[in-house]
Chains A and B, each alone.
Chain A
Amino acid sequence: MTLRTGALSVALLLAAASTGTAGEWEPLPTELLEIEDCPEEPGCPAAVLREETFLDNSHINARVEVHRIVKIFTPEGLDAASLALPFVPRTWNIRDLAGRTIRADGTQVELRPQEAVERTVIKGNGLRRKEVIVEMPAAEVGATLEYRYRKVYRYRVSGYGWSPQGRHPVLRSTLLISSGPYAWAPVALNMRGISKSMDVDPEGRPRIVFTNVPAIYEEPFMPPEEEVTARLALISKYQNWQWGDLGKEAHAYFDKYFKRSKDARRKTREVVGEAGDPEVVVEKLYRWVQNNVDNTAYSETEEGETETDDGNDTVDDVLSTMQGSHLDLIRLFTFMARESGLDAEVALVTTRDQAFFRKNLKDLFQFNSELAAVRLDGEWRFYDPGTRYCPLGMVGWENEGLWENALITRDNGGFIVQVPSSAAAENLERRVTHLEIAADGQGKALVEEEDHGLAGTNFRNDLDHLGDDDRRGWLESRMTAREGLTVLDLEVANLAAWSDPLQLRYRVQVDKLGTTAGTRLLLPATLVPLPNPFVAAERRNDVYFPRTRRTVDEIIVAIPDGYEVESVPEDRELDSGRLVYGLRFTPSDKEIKVSRELTVDLLLVDRAKYALLRKFFEEVEEADSAQIVLRRASDDAGGVDG
């Protein structure tokens, strides 16, 4: 549908309602119109002064009525006048849009709903998302916008997710709930620092009021969006299932998936051979699945597409095509481990690239992935053949738990556990750099790097589909902290040998690495400095590192002919437990050896501790930018005077 016909259909959709609503606005209280700033965030561009949402599930078609009053304080806040109301055709629609703008001088202009345009955001591949877009008229700095609309569902909803938070601060937001037959109980998530109160309206319906809800801010190293957005999950009180019930259901499902077949059993025996030691059996199976079954999750990602269901319903399907999604590979491994006599189960997992698991939130969809769990020596261990190149005994970083994040499914229901996270030392990046510097300051270095654990996994997955040029580009993108650096060549070894460290050997050239000052040559202490990622003085979100890491560098700086060391920086040691940094210098006649290490052995840091974290990285950055001073050796020792 083109925009033009779309506009027409929206006009028809909205016309009846709009003629009935225009001019029926209640006068706004003077105290609202007089608000000129956000009390908690002074200088905000715009604010939602009042927002009232009525979630009405008492009809056969659920309805969400939204009424919003927004004030614009600065030109940047004018974006609040561009309304975009998403909808999903055949699931829910937008109805009864009406609005007005009260100008700064108090005059009023009605929104003309016939000017609303319906646009297709995306259509195809089974997806269809649309939105109604419209501009509030006469919006200007000082104007107040008031509008309302209804979302009308085609059915009654069993649960609902709602957030009072958006791109502008909200001074007061009220949610009125009529949950119909489901009797919802609200579960508040990420509401720290947001004041809320709850009562009932005269008709006995629960009403929750939120005050001073801050806008959402983007920051580096922040948790996933789901974890920084204040939200309410409305879940039926009558849900009486326990996590164990889910475990039991899932276990029954996997049993069907594991439907035994002669071929699958034969393949298992073939792979395991004569091995009897459970550790050896697990290793053999893991290695075989990783190396032999095509993991389509990755080939599809390479094509820039989303992963789709491969249509495998049993392990036999996977074995017949020797390909499957990452879940198929995990399930196949689990099946083969069981067939080999091990106590093996599929564990449902919440991946923390999307959200963090919450045991008190009875939402089945919290679990969005799987791992294989095998009990060895009475202890459950996790395996992740679905993450390509993941070493045996480790799991993809997103599967590692901050706390309990997995449900090991059993026929009796199973239990919730934490998938352990890897220690920084396991994810070691070790580099040995031989650096030569010319008298004009140009640097050339040969670097030999080894990447262990998840560092190797991540880099392998980055590299394996790239050509030579792109691999050099990838490497340069890791070293942008050094200006003027060019990767001349790169050799990659052990790319597919995921049980060994990934090995990179590369040569780089750096223009103007050294600076001359009279007879002196000044050199940076390190080839690639560690910049401080936390330069902002304030922090609004917690700090979140995807995985732990440890980097160890040894840099051997050759002293150019005719120069001698005048001074080297002082050694530095910073140790705050889980954050460790060290920089040491050992000069000799021909070279200076620089040893540097950085360990980040944490994942989630409360924003209250941000100042400490920032200080650590400031000191690292400062230490890393230290200079070595070389001086031209005296000419007195010899020479021909003529």
Chain B
Amino acid sequence: MKRRLILSLLALHLGTGIAEAARKPPKALAWAIEALEADIDVADGAPAVTLLDEARVDLIGSGGRRRFRRRTVVKVLSADGRYESLQPIYYGQNSTLATFKAWTIRPDGSIEPFAKRDAVDVSLSTAAVYSDRRQKLLYLRNVGVGSAVAVEYVLDENKFFLQDQWLFQVTYPVVLSRYTVSMPAGWTCEARVLNHDAIEPTRDGNTLTWEARDLPWRDWEPDSAPIRDQVPRLALSFLPRGSWGDAEEFRSWKDVAAWYDSLVSTQTAAGDEIRAVVAELTEGATSEHQKIERIGRFVQDLRYVSISLGLSRYQPHAANEVFFNRYADCKDKTALMMTMLREAGIESHPLLVFTRDEGKVYAEFPSPLQFNHCIIAIPVAEKTTEDALIIHPDMGEVLVFDPTDDLTPVGDLPWTDQGTRALLAHPDHGGLVDLPVLPAESNRAERNWEIDLRKDGHATVRMVATYYGQYARVLRYQYGGKDDATRDSDLTESLARAVPGAKLEKVDFQGLGEGKEPLRIEAEVEVANFARRAGPLLLAEPMRMVRTYAPDTSEEKRLRPLMVPFRFLELDRVTLALPEGYHVSEPPEGSAGDGPLGSYEVVHHAEKSRWEVERRLTVNTLEVPPSEYPAARELLSAAHAAAGAVLVLERDGS
């Protein structure tokens, strides 16, 4: 009994000690406490503020070995910021997580250390995408408004390249972001600051530090150009002295191109099976273009599976292996297609791309770190009329093709590849090239609508639509690969959502699976209450069923550029047969306009018993800067209003 009592007292004593410690910050956390003392002046609505985001990189001096330490302090300003209670640490891909610590610092100054049992370790592989990338997810407790979260971790890394990038900001406002690198004696580095004025580093021996302070909040906006192109970024190339192991060093784009060319060219040996299939595919082909199309189709049809472990993050698997397995990622497909084309007597080269939905490629930083996709460049000997061409100063016309996107045929280019800067991995002519942007007419929708309106407001709507280019791709993605029943059911659902009371009676797709031909859809729809009855009147919106791909401009203003996936043209012609005994009261007038986004025109034609509306909308740009956004918004608003005009139908004689 007495022993128990003593133990209890001891526990009480220890408990008090622990409670005291919780109020008094440990010395090891002085950096976080210092960060918390900063004056905060941020825009209203910011969920949280980054008080400190600090990276310290120690280059070990042997190959790409380095130690990376990161410290962050984020203060929660509103309920949305409470998601900071989840702190992810990414590692894997040639790095191991050496240590990690985290703390919740409450508004009253008390400190709750993170309990390691509250961490989960998650693989970031998903179905058909195998990667050694991992995430340690820390769940911090008691993170409320006014609390701060401090995290510190260390990674031991072995990089493939003697290069690095550091984003000074993601979206939250930043008080201080700092990057420090300590290099072995004799090493130098080339640094560029992107999306921001130059930042001069401070130097202490061979340790350099860059700092950015007081960066404003960059709130999320729909359809925005990628955030990484809006925030300050540090891009570094380290230049070692003497022998430095296996990690690659790049001083120019030619270096990067030559490196990638050598990485791919070792994987393009063809076996007998490949040769046999190439012979079979090209048999009877009458032109170079036809051969490219057939081989391209074969490669696009391979199942997409990415196995990116170690160097295979950059290097494709051997073409014979890919051919055997019949699955591949983008670089595997490129290497296999190069192999097959060569067997057909056609030269080709890899093109490294950073897809436009992810961001831009900066010419001043020659690095493979700037790419996330691989496609193929095919110098063409025969003259071609295709749009997906680049004119190379040494190689002439070069056809650009994406063997991964099975919905985009030879001659077209997925929108994510259009307008980007790519690296041609050629041993002699390697360097950056600009990929083409296909004109609006290439991506067009032509739709004819015949509407038979009855006196009870119900209508039969017949549509014949033809879609081209990336416009067709959007619909192929939505409806392709589905059985008829599922497709009809999906169509019925989306119709009923868009137009209550609409029922699909008939639909026919042509060219859904074959990207080379335009996609043609014919449909007949019965719409209950197409026109709404209002006493003796019928209210009909002729273009009610017409959908547009125009970007969302519901936001009044924007701070970031609006991104448009591709240029396009929509041509709609609606003919409304009026119910017998009705006429249009106060007919609407047509209108037209143009601006930074493109142009529109709506025209009404009246006949005795028919009403015809034509609409032409052209979107001619891929990005609208914030300064031009109000004009673009106004244009689309006017276009939508003109197309959405309601016809008031009165009985004759009233």
Contacts and interface: CB of A to CB of B under 8 A. Distances in A.
Interface of A: 2-4, 7, 41-45, 74-76, 78-79, 81-82, 84, 109, 117, 119-127, 133, 135, 137-140, 302-305, 465-467, 469-470, 484, 515, 517-520, 522, 531-532, 535-538, 566-570, 618, 621-622, 625-629
7 contacts: A2-B92, A124-B118, A125-B117, A467-B145, A517-B539, A517-B586, A569-B534
B119 A124 contact: yes
A622 B500 contact: yes
A124 B143 contact: no
Contact of A45 (B120, B481, B587): B481
A127 B120 contact: yes
B309 A622 contact: no
B576 interface: no
Contacts of B141: 303
A517 B489 contact: no
A43 B484 contact: yes
Contacts of A469: 45, 78-80
Contacts of B554: 484
B586 A532 contact: no
Interface stretch (B164-172, B344-352, B440-448, B640-648): B640-648
Contact of B481 (A76, A124, A519, A625): A76
Contacts of A125: 117-120, 139
A122 B500 contact: no
Given A138-B326, A515-B646, A3 B485 contact: no
B121 A138 contact: no
A586 B82 CA distance: 48
Contacts of A84: 127
A74 B479 CA distance: 13
B484 A137 contact: no
A483 to B, nearest CB: 8
Nearest to B644: A515
Interface in B141-193: 141-143, 145
Given A45-B483, A535-B492, A467 B79 contact: yes
Contact of B588 (A44, A121, A517, A537): A517
Interface string B283-327: 000000000000000000101010001100000000000001111
A120 B121 CA distance: 8
A126 B117 CA distance: 8
B85 A303 contact: yes
B459 to A, nearest CB: 14
Given A43-B484, A123-B122, A537-B489, 12 more contacts: A75-B481, A79-B127, A117-B130, A124-B119, A302-B82, A304-B83, A484-B554, A535-B497, A536-B489, A618-B500, A626-B532, A629-B535
A124 B117 contact: yes
A124 B120 contact: yes
A587 to B, nearest CB: 11
A321 B125 CA distance: 43
B127 A82 contact: yes
A470 B120 contact: no
Contacts of A120: 121-123
Interface string B570-601: 00000000000000011110000000000000
B533 interface: yes
B200 to A, nearest CB: 39
The residue among B305, B501, B532 with the most chain A CB atoms within 10 A of its own CB is B532
A137 B121 contact: no
A566 B496 contact: no
A629 B489 contact: no
Given A82-B128, A139-B303, A627-B534, A522 B92 contact: no
Given A466-B79, A517-B588, A133 B646 contact: no
A524 to B, nearest CB: 10
B486 A43 contact: yes
A2 B134 contact: yes
A629 to B, nearest CB: 4
B121 A517 contact: no
B537 A629 contact: yes
B121 A124 contact: yes
A122 B130 contact: no
Nearest to A141: B301
Contacts of A140: 301, 303, 326
A520 B127 contact: no
B387 interface: no
Contacts of A138: 324-326
A120 B119 CA distance: 14
Nearest to A137: B325
A3 B483 CA distance: 37
Interface of B: 45, 78-80, 82-83, 85-86, 92, 117-123, 125, 127-128, 130-132, 134, 137, 139, 141-143, 145, 301, 303, 305, 309-310, 324-327, 406, 481-486, 489, 492-493, 496-497, 500-501, 503, 528-529, 532-537, 539, 554, 585-588, 644-648
Contacts of B536: 567
Contacts of B86: 304
B481 A304 contact: no
A393 B534 CA distance: 46
A553 B274 CA distance: 70
Contact of A569 (B137, B309, B501, B533): B533
B86 to A, nearest CB: 7
A78 B143 CA distance: 44
Contacts of A79: 127-128
B483 A517 contact: no
A84 B130 CA distance: 12
Contacts of B309: 3-4, 7
For A138, A535, A625, the residue with the greatest tally of chain B CB atoms inside 10 Å of its CB is: A535
Contacts of B125: 3, 117, 119, 133
A567 to B, nearest CB: 3
Contacts of A517: 539, 586, 588, 645-648
B121 to A, nearest CB: 4
Report, nearest first, the 5 A-B pairs whose CB atoms are least far apart. A43-B483, A518-B586, A567-B535, A124-B120, A535-B496
B326 A137 contact: yes
A627 B326 CA distance: 58
Nearest to B78: A467
Contact of B496 (A7, A465, A515, A532): A532
Contacts of A139: 303, 326-327
A484 B555 CA distance: 10
A139 B128 CA distance: 13
A297 to B, nearest CB: 15
A566 B585 CA distance: 14
A465 B143 CA distance: 12
B305 A3 contact: no
B539 A74 contact: no
A527 B587 CA distance: 27
Contacts of B528: 618, 622
A109 B119 contact: no
A137 B325 CA distance: 4
A304 B45 contact: no
A135 to B, nearest CB: 5
Contacts of B120: 122-125, 127
A135 B327 contact: yes
B328 to A, nearest CB: 11
A2 B532 contact: no
B495 to A, nearest CB: 8
B78 A470 contact: yes
Nearest to B137: A124
Contacts of A618: 500-501, 528
A363 to B, nearest CB: 29
Nearest to A484: B554
Contacts of B143: 303
Nearest to A520: B648
Contacts of A81: 303, 327
B534 A44 contact: no
B92 A567 contact: no
Given A2-B132, A124-B120, A515-B644, A520 B489 contact: no
Contacts of A124: 117-121, 137
